[in-house]
Amino acid sequence: MATPDSPVACFELVKIPIRPSSRFAQQSGLWHINTGTDVDTYPTSTLRNMHFLGQPPPGASPDIPSWDEFRFSPVGLYYLRSRLMGSLEPSVFQRFLPNFEAAEAAWFAAGLASSPSDIPADEFYPELHEVRRNTPKTGGTDIRKALRQRLRSLTFDCAALLDRAFGSTTLVIHIPGTTRPRSLLREDYIKAETYFPAHLLREDERIPRAIFDIVQKYIRDVGIPTIARYQFCASRYWPLSQDCLMPPPFPRQSIRPPAKPVNSSNFEYNGQVIKPPIVILDEDDNREKERLKEELKNVRKLLEEANRALAESQRREEDLLSQIVRLTSLASETQPVAPTARRFAGPGSALSQPPVSSGSTAARSPSRRNHATGSTPSSTMDGASNRSGMQAGTDTGSQYRNFIRSNLLDSKYPQIERIRTNVPVYLWRVDLQELGISQNIVDNLIPLMGRRSRDS
């Protein structure tokens, strides 16, 4: 038994460098014990009385409670470190063996999720090769299975601690890369091990269905590619077992499989092949089908009648528009154009000119040909000139009419024709823009108006 003055069982107190991202570690200050012979030493019996852990967190008691009373919190972690640093009881490790095994696995897991994960599509991570190299060929499968089970349990336990300590909800779905030998790459040959808080499955009847659907989709869209990738990579390094019969698929389950162990938050979901629903038509369905066909026939008949009425309305619209254009042209022959300064002055000229009548407008407009006085043409959307006795060019008239119709200018056609036949060319742009026609349309309309006037 060591005494305060005993020279044996001495330790060096070495402070572990703490990563800046670990806020709790920065606040508490972690310590580690290394054995050594050439450092300052302290008898083991004095470790309990040393304040090497730094300032205790708020709420910590000077008297360290027993191992069974530790809880996850800054105080609980402080107590755990105090016990680990100061306890020399040989029975502690065996008593809390699962805890120490989880801590061992966590040591190697720390930081892996945030580390780079770039590997070729036909390769495993180095950790898999390391595990296989350090397990024997005989019985190695069982050892690796137990090790995987330990890591899976640690992952589920960490998720449970995360949810219980902070009121969150976490779903963990784990699908092993290996399957039973000669299993088909199909959903019902795959099993998913999951963690989900069991109390939520009991409290809300919608949640079991939601989790079931999520897990089944994960098996189908992620599990099958995972197993296929494992088998492809494994074939490069070792032969896959094919000397056995094909196993049967896993049985179908309800949307809420039993927990394993009972009353826990661990569940195993068997994959299920989603089959398309089979629809069987009965007499009621046939009657409904006939009713829908008859309704469709009536709707099509109404559409045909509406199209005929629309065509007749369009023809009537063109007739009315032609009459309006003719009357507008007749009125412009007998009524003088209102005198405006804009019409008296040429481009860039500040001089005023005497008022002119509609009869003299034709003489000064370069956009019109000389016609007999009083015989101003009356144009329509069909390009007919009823008063001039001259027929418009077919191609030019068609382009002109189509452009007006395609740009929805039918309502402005009488004003456009009045501008074309009674306004000088250099004022067309201004007058057209005053009608509210956009600049882009005006740029394309003016050349068509000019060709239409030359062919008239």
- pLDDT tens digits, 12-70: 333 334 333 334 333 333 333 333 333 333 333 333 444 555 678 888 888 888 888 88
Q: What is the pLDDT of residues 378-394, one digit of tens each?
A: 444 444 444 443 444 45
Q: Are residues 256 and 307 in the same domain?
A: no
In a domain, 8, yes or no: no
- 285 shares a domain with 273: no
Q: Rounded to two decimals, what is the model's pTM?
A: 0.51
pLDDT tens profile 316-360: 888 888 888 888 777 666 555 555 444 444 444 444 444 444 444
Together in a domain, 91 and 183: no
pLDDT tens per residue across span 33-45: 333 333 333 333 3
Task: Quickly count: other Cβ atoms within 10 Å of residue 135's Cβ.
Answer: 15
- The answer to the question of residue 376 being in a domain is no
Contact in structure between 385 and 391 (CB atoms under 8 Å): yes
Q: 400 burial class (0-12, 13-18, 19+ CB within 10 angstroms)? A: buried
Residue 270 pairs in a beta bridge with 191
Residue 332: inside a domain = no
* Whether 182 and 247 share a structural domain: yes
- Domain check: are 107 and 128 in the same one? yes
Question: Would the pLDDT of 433 be above 60?
Answer: yes
Q: What does each C-alpha distance from 314 to 305, 317, 384, 410 come to in angstroms?
A: 14, 5, 18, 11
| Domain identity same for 176 and 244 | yes
Residues 123 and 146 in one domain: yes
Q: State yes or no: pLDDT of 377 exceeds 60.
A: no
Whole domain around residue 110: which residue ranges? 46-150
Whether 116 maps to a domain, the answer reads yes
233 found inside a domain: yes
Q: Dump pLDDT digits (tens) for 168-217.
A: 999 999 999 999 999 999 999 999 999 999 999 999 999 999 999 999 99
CA distance 377 to 384: 9
Whether residue 363 lies inside any domain: the answer is no
The C-alpha atoms of residue 427 and residue 402 are separated, in whole angstroms, by 23
Same domain, 267 and 187: yes
Tell whether 158 is covered by a domain: no
